[in-house]
């Protein structure tokens, strides 16, 4: 489900990076995307000293813009402290030497698996992308062994895994199709024996056009759903939907959407003015419980209780602008091919 598409992109970028590096028209810049990691690194290494984390990020962004003004292709990737230190040690370079940073950023530009060209987007967006990549890779390292263990619970693990992946793929597509147009965040949480597996996939849909992040996150959604199916694990699916202006003339509302009698809108309006369009709401949250069969739609009340209860059991306020709605049902006939 997009894995090949993503892989081709990444392969092309790697080849491109090598070409740019050889031509001298590329520069790599590595960013410490986690503030706590930066603090620990800055305490030990004067290369990363700054008054605070925002000051560090400002200095990095200034380097990015200077390289772009010089006509270079700027390649941005994460600086992983352990990797930075081990590469410096292997090369016999002092960790606090500017050469150590240059060597590491050369690696980022040429080979870094999470590196992407910088197109001028602001630093918060750069950080968001890097952090999402790192989270996805960390989760994958845990999820893939769990998938193998879950498949081994069945007499024929390979066949069981294939069927589970097929059903998970169809389930994912059904959620996307019935979720309608707009900007969405699909969060999958699975209660695995060795700890909770949790992943959030942001995506956008307009008519038949889908836009996913380029880290292959849609594959991670399928893997987590497959684990739950194979091992019969509990968990949840949450879908948060927001509207977005579209160039397409026909906008689909989420399946099961109904105007509310007596509804009160964000500005205090009531009746038809408040409920005439789901796009007037900041976000709509729906939920499902993972079961041995198909996910079970949550009622509004159950969803509210889940979303507004903290890890310690204490109540927490809902995200501002959230409208809680029951999850739409999934037709079992759509999944007969996966039995």
pLDDT exceeds cutoff 90 at 153: yes
pLDDT exceeds cutoff 80 at 21: no
pLDDT in tens, 228-277: 999 999 999 999 998 864 434 444 455 554 544 443 333 333 334 333 34
Selection from 302, 294, 205 nearest residue 253 by Cα: 205
- 165 compared with 134, residue with greater pLDDT: 165
Mean predicted lDDT score pLDDT of the chain: 80
* The pLDDT value given to residue 168: 94
* The pLDDT value given to residue 95: 94
Q: Tell me if the pTM is above 0.75.
A: no
- 267 compared with 190, residue with greater pLDDT: 190
* The pLDDT value given to residue 333: 83
* The pLDDT value given to residue 254: 53
* The pLDDT value given to residue 214: 64
* The pLDDT value given to residue 215: 63
Q: What is the pLDDT averaged over residues 56-69?
A: 94
Of 55-69, 88-102, 165-179, 239-253, least confident by mean pLDDT is 239-253
pLDDT in tens, 129-151: 888 777 777 788 889 999 999 99
Sign of dihedral through CA atoms 171, 175, 178, 180?
negative
Q: What is the pLDDT averaged over residues 24-52?
A: 90
Cα–Cα distances (Å) from 261 to 265, 272, 317, 323, 325, in that order, read 12, 8, 25, 15, 14
Q: What is the pLDDT averaged over residues 79-85?
A: 90
**CB neighbour list of residue 125: distance below 8 Å, 6 or more residues apart:** none
pLDDT exceeds cutoff 70 at 4: no
Q: To the nearest whole percent, how much of the chain has pLDDT over 90?
A: 48
pLDDT in tens, 87-128: 999 999 999 999 999 999 998 888 776 788 888 888 988 888
Q: What is the pLDDT averaged over residues 280-304?
A: 89
* The pLDDT value given to residue 320: 82
Q: What is the pLDDT averaged over residues 305-333?
A: 89
* The pLDDT value given to residue 28: 92
| DSSP per position, 170-181 | HHHHHHHHHH-S
- Alpha carbon of residue 270 to chain centroid: 36
* The pLDDT value given to residue 223: 94
pLDDT in tens, 213-224: 766 678 889 999
Q: Give φ, ψ of 17 to 5 degrees.
A: -60, -40
Asked whether 76 and 39 are in contact (CB, 8 A), the reply is: no
pLDDT exceeds cutoff 90 at 39: yes
Asked whether 139 and 127 are in contact (CB, 8 A), the reply is: no
């Amino acid at each position: 489900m997009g894995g090949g598409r993503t892989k081709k992109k990444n392969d092309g970028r790697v080849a491109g990076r090598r070409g740019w590096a050889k031509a001298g028209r590329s520069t790599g810049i590595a960013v410490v995307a986690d503030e706590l990691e930066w603090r620990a690194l800055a305490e030990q290494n004067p290369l990363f000293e700054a008054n605070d984390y925002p000051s560090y990020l400002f200095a990095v962004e200034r380097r990015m813009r200077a390289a772009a003004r010089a006509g270079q292709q700027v390649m941005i990737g994460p600086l992983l402290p352990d990797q930075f230190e081990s590469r410096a040690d292997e090369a016999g370079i002092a960790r606090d030497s500017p050469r150590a940073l240059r060597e590491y950023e050369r690696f980022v530009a040429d080979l870094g698996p999470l590196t992407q060209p910088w197109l001028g987007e602001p630093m918060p967006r750069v950080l968001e992308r890097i952090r999402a990549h790192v989270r996805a890779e960390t989760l994958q390292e845990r999820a893939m062994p769990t998938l193998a263990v879950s498949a081994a619970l069945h007499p024929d693990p390979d066949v069981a895994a294939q069927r589970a992946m097929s059903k998970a793929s169809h389930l994912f597509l059904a959620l996307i199709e019935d979720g309608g147009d707009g900007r969405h965040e699909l969060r999958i949480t699975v209660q695995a024996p060795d700890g909770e597996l949790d992943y959030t996939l942001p995506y956008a849909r307009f008519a038949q056009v889908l836009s996913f992040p380029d880290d292959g996150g849609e594959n991670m959604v399928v893997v987590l759903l497959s684990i739950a199916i194979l091992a019969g694990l509990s968990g949840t699916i949450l879908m948060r939907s927001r509207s977005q202006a579209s160039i397409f003339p026909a906008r689909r509302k989420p399946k099961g959407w109904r105007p509310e009698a007596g509804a009160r809108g964000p500005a205090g309006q009531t009746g038809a003015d408040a409920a005439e369009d789901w796009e007037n709401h900041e976000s709509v949250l729906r939920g499902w419980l993972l079961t041995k069969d198909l996910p079970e739609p949550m009622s509004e009340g159950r969803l509210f209780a889940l979303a507004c209860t903290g890890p310690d059991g204490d109540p927490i306020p809902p995200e501002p602008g959230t409208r809680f709605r029951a999850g739409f049902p999934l037709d079992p006939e759509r999944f007969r091919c996966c039995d």
